[in-house]
Amino acid sequence: MEVVICSDEHEIARLAADRVVADVEGANRPILGVATGSSPLKLYAELASRVEAGDVDFSHGEAFALDEYVGLPPEHPQSYRHTIMRTVAQPLGFEGSRVHVPNGYTADLQGEAEKYDAAIVDRGGVDVQILGIGSNGHIGFNEPMSSLGSRTRVKTLTQQTREDNARFFDSIDEVPTHCVTQGLGTIMDAKAIVLVAQGAHKADAVAGMVEGPVTASCPGSILQLHPRVFVAVDEAAASKLQHAAYFRHAAATPLDPGV
Ligand code: F6R
């Protein structure tokens, strides 16, 4: 896991965007895994400016979202389909028909979840998955105690996640109780992962993900087993890392190509 401690959210966005662009380089049809939530918004804005500058092109690409609420119609402004179209697909130039979001508004949630995993495999897999992390260590909506090998399926949201997300709704009672989320096994199949986190409320989750034991108690810790993970965090989110000095040293000591 490559961890970079950044001075601010602009540096996070810039370094994370560098990595995303490098991870899709050469792909005629880049397959991007996309997260909702506040953490990657600056990264998406940075990627949009790279698209505008002609550094990267997603117009033939496909996007796969991590998750969706159960019970919100796709046109609901807080549905993740709506959010992904507004914050990612349109600014980055993805064609609407090539933006995939799990179906949380169907009688056959499990059948649709299985089709979702099959569609990712059919497109050749996700080239790079963008992630945030919940304050309880979740990635996607894989709440603590999710199976480390899980595939896309229905999950019950924790009360903490519903409270964290209540800011997007008029009241907590409107926050759905369930979601459909890519499983931890599905996320681990991505060829590369770029995770961004900001703020002191993410410090425990970041420390558990990077340095804690690999455990279902902190679902993000499964990423320790992935061979290509780039983590960009600010000082506050890095504040509980025991190995912060090593991460700073490694970032300041690039390999001399002549060696
Ligand atoms: C979003 C998602 C979640 C969020 C996490 C952090 O699709 O799956 O794992 O990344 O809850 O949310 P923010 O970024 O709003 O703090």
**Does 202 sit in the ligand 1 pocket, CB within 6 Å?**
no
Q: Whose alpha carbon is nearest atom 15 of ligand 1?
A: 37
Secondary structure of 144-208 in the HEC alphabet?
CCCCCCCCCEEEECCHHHHHHHHHHCCCHHHCCCEEEECCHHHHHCCCCEEEEECCHHHHHHHHH
Cα 88 to middle of ligand 1, angstroms: 14
Q: Are the beta carbons of 194 and 44 closer than 8 angstroms?
A: no
If you average pLDDT over every residue of the chain, what do you get? 97
- The whole-angstrom separation of Cα 229 and Cα 15 is 13
The pLDDT tens digits of the residues spanning 37-63 come to 999 999 999 999 999 999 999 999 999
Q: Is the pLDDT of residue 259 over 80?
A: no
User: Average pLDDT of 217-235?
Assistant: 98
* Residue 138 annotated as catalytic: yes
| Calpha distance 103→114 (Å, rounded) | 11
Sign for the CA dihedral angle at 42, 183, 69, 89 comes to positive
* Coil vs helix vs strand at 92: helix
**What distance in angstroms lies between residue 132's CA and the mean position of ligand 1's atoms?**
5
The encoded tokens of residue 92 equal 């980055």
| Ligand 1 proximity of 35 Cβ (cutoff 6 Å) | yes
156 lines ligand 1 (CB under 6 A): no
Q: Is 62 helix (H, G, I), strand (E, B) or coil?
A: strand
Joined together, the tokens standing for residue 46 give: 């940075």
Angstrom CA distances, 140 to 66, 154, 246, 257, stand at 6, 12, 28, 37
Write the DSSP symbol of residue 238.
T
Instruction: Return the beta strands (E) in 90-141 as ranges.
Output: 99-100, 128-131
* Confidence category of residue 201, pLDDT binned at 50, 70, 90: very high
pLDDT digits (tens, 9 = 90+) for 159-187: 999 999 999 999 999 999 999 999 999 99
Cβ of 59 less than 6 Å from ligand 1? no
The CA–CA distances, whole Å, from 104 to 28, 99, 194 equal 30, 15, 25
38 C-beta closer than 6 A to ligand 1? yes
Shortest-distance atom of ligand 1 to CA 138 = 9
**Burial grade of 46 (CB within 10 A; 0-12, 13-18, 19 or more):** buried
Q: In this structure, what DSSP letter does residue 113 have? A: H
Q: Tell me whether residue 211 is one of the annotated catalytic residues.
A: no
- 1 pLDDT more than 80: yes
